[in-house]
Structure 1
Amino acid sequence: MNIPKLKHTENNNFFLMAGSCAIESRDLAFEIAEKIKGITDQFGIPYIFKGSYRKANRTKLDSFTGIGDITALEILQEIGNHYDLPTVTDIHESQEAEMAAKYVDVLQIPAFLCRQTDLLAAAARTGKAVNIKKGQFMAGVSMKFAVEKILHENPSAQVFLTDRGNSFGYGDLVVDYRNIPEMQAHGVPVVMDCTHSLQRPNQTSGVTGGQPKMIETIAKAAIAVGADGIFIETHPNPAIAKSDGANMLPLDKLEELLEKLVRVRQAVV
């Protein structure tokens, strides 16, 4: 698969990681992939389809975790083959790396696991690209150690770093845009997660909240600062999404947002 490389794409555009939070069904995954591919082809935006095959970090015991590991991974593989797209999914434990790598092109390390040496090493050994989300508790400068762990195991590995905000009290996040150039200084592309950075975790209801109306603000600022990529979770109807619906972008609003971001990118490069 053609995975975006360091810093610049062919037309000097940003790249996009996007999809629903979790793989809920084959039909929904294909609907989202087809819609986004059409938009990104129109704007010349390199696209990586995102979907979690399993949700391990859930607030409540009875929260949705997935439709079955292999079932979801096979859907990711099918989407990648059908649309000729690279795909990305999360892994949570070292033994998952080899399994997931058989089906996807990029292994993603969740933010709260970004310091887990064994997990990073296992991802690196698969030979797949690795996207490490910066912990909500970490500064961008400290992420150099996560990059070093990957490159120690696989010096030729392709690594991305993704910012998703920093904890602000117990139930909110803030984005410090200094983290983008600070993480780029580690020699890797940096992605802004425009949806998870707007989460409002630890709600007393047991369901994570969010501020989806601010997605455009976060995304525009990230592109203006020079982010190499944008990460967005999207769904045709976030209100019925089985995971993270409170901070997802409605799928029908994605085209307008990406058109604006392309114009911002053209203005700042």
Structure 2
Amino acid sequence: MIETLANALPHFRNTNSGQFFLMAGPCVIEGEDMALRIAEQVRTLCDKLQIPYIFKGSYRKANRSRLDSYTGIGDEKALKILQKVGQEIGVPTVTDIHESDEAALAAGYVDVLQIPAFLCRQTDLLIAAAQTGKVVNIKKGQFLSGEAMQFAVDKVRQSGNEHVILTDRGNSFGYSDLVVDFRNLPAMRSFGVPVVMDVTHSLQKPNQSSGVTGGMPQLIETIAKAAIAVGADGLFIETHPTPATAKSDGANMLPLQQLEDLLIKLTRVRDAVR
């Protein structure tokens, strides 16, 4: 699975390690210094542990609960920061897009275009992302089974792009909770694409009365270990030096200083199940 991704990302790091790959970074680009600092620290850890690494950061947050929720520092400014991270730190980058006309714009700055879970059935968006030639990471809708994601994969492939990743981020459970059904990972892996577990978003507590999403970060290690044990090719983890001050999704982020210990444990799990 990782070999397919490596073909699409010539500068993808450590693809022969046999380890899972990692998508990690802040929820949203808050500024250049922070983005570079996070990317450098995570890359250093991943180099030490031979974990292929993709830096994650949203250039704009479109799905917000309230009108006054933080959305970003400006599209072009944030995209240029993502580009600088890729160039200076030497890692691939991923960001999410929300409308078809954003695909070509973002593709000029990053290596992987991410389709948010709520938008995974939007045909025009998937086609536009596919036609850029970039790797397309499609998050599984909270309302869909793993098996149903075959059709999203087909839309990208039938648009001429074989570089597809599928990411699970839990399923809606009632109005204000998510649960992870680990049957979805092997189901999606059967389509011949790399499969990722979005560990931090799957621990969200959405639709809180305050209009600010909650979370259960104390379960990050639990979900991550389970995902590796059932064969996930990669993990998606949002991390921040001080989650309490993060502009978005701080309630379910992993503190950056805890990442090394977690990754060491996860490499041991991966070694045990290989």
Same structural fold, with TM-score higher than 0.5 when normalized by the shorter chain: yes
Other-structure match for 2:219: 214
Q: Distance in 1 between matches of 2:84 and 2:6?
A: 20
Q: Work out the CA distance in 2 between the residues paired with 1:217 and 1:241.
A: 23
CA-CA distance at 1:194 after TM superposition: 0.3
Which of 201, 220, 229 pairs up with 2:206? 201
TM-score of the superposed pair, with normalisation by structure 2: 0.95
When normalised by structure 1's length, the TM-score is 0.97
Offset from partner CA, 1:15-38 (integer Å, 9 cap, x none): 000000000000110110011001
Q: Secondary structure at the match of 1:71?
A: helix
Distance 2:42 2:229 in 1: 22
Whole-angstrom CA distance in 2 between matches of 1:166 and 1:142:
13
Residue of structure 1 aligned with 2:155, choices 144, 149, 155: 149
Task: Confirm or deny that 1:229 pairs with 2:234.
Answer: yes
**Are positions 1:133 and 2:133 aligned together?**
no
Counterpart in the other structure of 2:257 = 252
Give CA-to-partner distance per residue, 1:204-223, whole Å, 9 cap, x none. Answer: 01100000000000000000
Count residues with an aligned counterpart.
266
1:84 CA displacement:
1.3
User: Structure 2: any 5+ residue segments left out of the alignment?
Assistant: 9-13
Deviation (angstroms), 1:11: 1.7
1:44-83 alignment runs, 5 A limit = 44-83=50-89
- Look up the SS of the partner of 1:17 in the other structure: strand
Is the contact between residue 36 and residue 89 of structure 2 (CA under 8 Å) also seen in structure 1? no
Kindly provide the CA deviation profile for residues 44-73 of structure 1, in whole angstroms up to 9, marking residues without a partner as x. 000000000000000110000000000000
Q: Check whether the contact 1:160–1:190 (CA below 8 A) recurs between aligned residues.
A: yes
In 1, the alpha carbon distance for the partners of 2:110 and 2:140 equals 21
Aligned equivalent of 2:124: 118
* Aligned: 1:94 with 2:106: no
Asked if structure 2 preserves the Cα contact closer than 8 Å seen for 1:15 and 1:47, the reply is: yes
Match of 2:11 in 1: none
CA distance in 2, matches of 1:49, 1:83: 9
Letter in 2 for 1:42: K
Question: CA 1:185 to 1:5, structure 2 compared with 1: closer, same or farther past 3 Å?
Answer: farther
Cα distance in 2 between the residues matched to 1:59 and 1:28: 25
CA–CA separation in structure 2 for the residues paired with 1:84 and 1:34 = 9
1:265 corresponding residue in structure 2: 270
Which amino acid is 1:140 matched to? G
C-alpha contact (below 8 Å) 1:128/1:157 kept by paired residues? no
Can you list the C-alpha shifts for 1:142-194, whole angstroms capped at 9, x where unaligned? Answer: 0000000000111x431000000000000000000000000000110000000
User: Quick one: distance in 2 between partners of 1:162 and 1:153?
Assistant: 20
Rounded to whole Å, the distance in 2 between the matches of 1:262 and 1:9 is 15
The aligned counterpart of 2:192 is 187
Measure, in 2, the Cα distance between the counterparts of 1:31 and 1:119.
32
Distance 1:259 1:45 in 2: 10
Following TM superposition, by how much is the alpha carbon of 1:5 offset from its aligned partner in structure 2, in angstroms? 6.1
Is the CA contact (8 Å cut-off) linking 1:4 and 1:15 kept in structure 2?
Answer: no
Query: Aligned partners of 1:16 and 1:176: how far apart in 2?
Result: 20
Aligned residues: CA RMSD = 1.3
Q: Write the distance in 2 (CA, Å) between the matches of 1:4 and 1:33.
A: 19
In structure 1, the residue matched to 2:245 is: 240
